[in-house]
């Protein structure tokens, strides 16, 4: 069963409390449960983590490089500021899907700039907690397609 790291950046531990009109009313624990359920349905093992520390997020991305087949990332505020996160993502060999609960393109101008997007295979934004499930469906399909291509080559 392929492992997918679902990594979350700063302040997402406050979901459901912090600006629910922007980020929704689901807690991070509820989103984690939805991801684990989707993982079971899709045949994926989910490792779900959140940190407020940039260095820890970079370490987890590096760990994913050897432990995970795919990566779903909501880097939150680090999306718009962290070259370190981008550099770590560029070392990851599998599919990467960037997720945002809100639509950054409908918010402050600085949020439209994403360093994560420079390394991501795809972006899902503005769909709330459902975006995480859609990201897992996308990486599951990418992983299936890679296995099918490998099988054909063998």
| Active site annotation includes 23 | yes
How is residue 70 written in tokens? 């795919």
The answer to whether the beta carbons of residues 38 and 134 sit under 8 Å apart is no
Q: Give the separation between CA 51 and CA 79, rounded to whole angstroms.
A: 14
- Other C-beta atoms lying within 10 Å of the C-beta of residue 122: 15
Pick the catalytic residue from 23, 78, 115, 132. 23
The answer to whether the beta carbons of residues 1 and 43 sit under 8 Å apart is yes
In the sheet that holds 122-125, the strands lie side by side as 45-50, 3-8, 70-74, 96-100, 122-125
| Active site annotation includes 26 | no
Pick the catalytic residue from 78, 100, 115, 132. 100
Active site residues: 23, 100
């Amino acid at each position: 069963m392929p492992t997918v790291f679902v990594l979350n950046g700063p302040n997402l531990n406050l979901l459901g409390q912090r600006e629910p009109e922007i980020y929704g009313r689901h807690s991070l624990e509820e989103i984690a449960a939805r991801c684990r359920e989707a993982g079971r349905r899709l045949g994926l093992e989910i490792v779900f983590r959140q940190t407020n520390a940039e260095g820890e997020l970079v370490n987890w991305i590096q760990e994913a490089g050897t432990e995970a087949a795919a990566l779903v990332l909501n880097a939150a505020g680090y999306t718009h500021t962290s070259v370190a996160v981008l550099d770590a993502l560029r070392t990851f060999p599998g599919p990467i899907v960037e997720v945002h609960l809100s639509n950054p393109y409908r918010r402050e101008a600085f949020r439209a700039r994403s360093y994560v997007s420079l390394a991501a295979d795809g972006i899902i934004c503005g769909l709330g907690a459902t975006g995480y499930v859609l990201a897992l469906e996308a990486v599951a399909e990418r992983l299936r397609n890679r296995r099918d291509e490998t099988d054909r080559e063998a």
